[in-house]
Amino acid sequence: MLVERMSVGDDDVPVHYADLFVVVREGETGPGPNDWEVTLRTTGPRHLRPGEHDLRLEAADGSLVRGRALLRYSDGSRHLFRGDGELIGFVEGEG
């Protein structure tokens, strides 16, 4: 899913590019708590504190997902989050 708008906690983050990658394992109806990740590139330098964050992701088609994730990497403009809980709003085949 290509992400158009994103919030980290209560803060809207200016998105240059972001995508959501989800794995649904055989026999499952949705991703497990660690089976999703978000790659984000901000429009300018953005400090994000290490640790867990509540993410809210909106795609260009208006679909919305949210979930708790751990910030795994950040260099100030590129950030990688790894799922650490249920991905709420995910529907397989959409996005």
Each residue's pLDDT, cut to its tens digit, for the chain (95 residues) gives 899 999 999 999 999 999 999 999 999 888 988 899 999 999 999 999 999 999 999 998 899 999 999 999 999 999 999 999 999 998 876 54
Predicted model pTM: 0.90
Per the domain annotation, does 62 fall within a domain?
A: yes
Per the domain annotation, does 91 fall within a domain?
A: no
Question: Which pLDDT belongs to residue 92?
Answer: 72
Q: How many CB atoms lie within 10 A of CB 65?
A: 22
State which residues form the domain around 24: 3-83
Per the domain annotation, does 93 fall within a domain?
A: no
Task: Give the gyration radius of the chain's Cα atoms.
Answer: 13
Per the domain annotation, does 94 fall within a domain?
A: no
Helix (H) or strand (E) segment spanning residue 74: strand 64-74
Per the domain annotation, does 31 fall within a domain?
A: yes
Per the domain annotation, does 95 fall within a domain?
A: no
Query: Which residues is 66 bridged to in the sheet?
Result: 56, 88
Question: Which pLDDT belongs to residue 93?
Answer: 63
Question: Which pLDDT belongs to residue 33?
Answer: 86
Per the domain annotation, does 92 fall within a domain?
A: no
| Strands of 78-83's sheet in order across | 11-13, 3-8, 51-59, 64-74, 78-83, 36-42, 15-22
Count of domains observed in the chain: 1
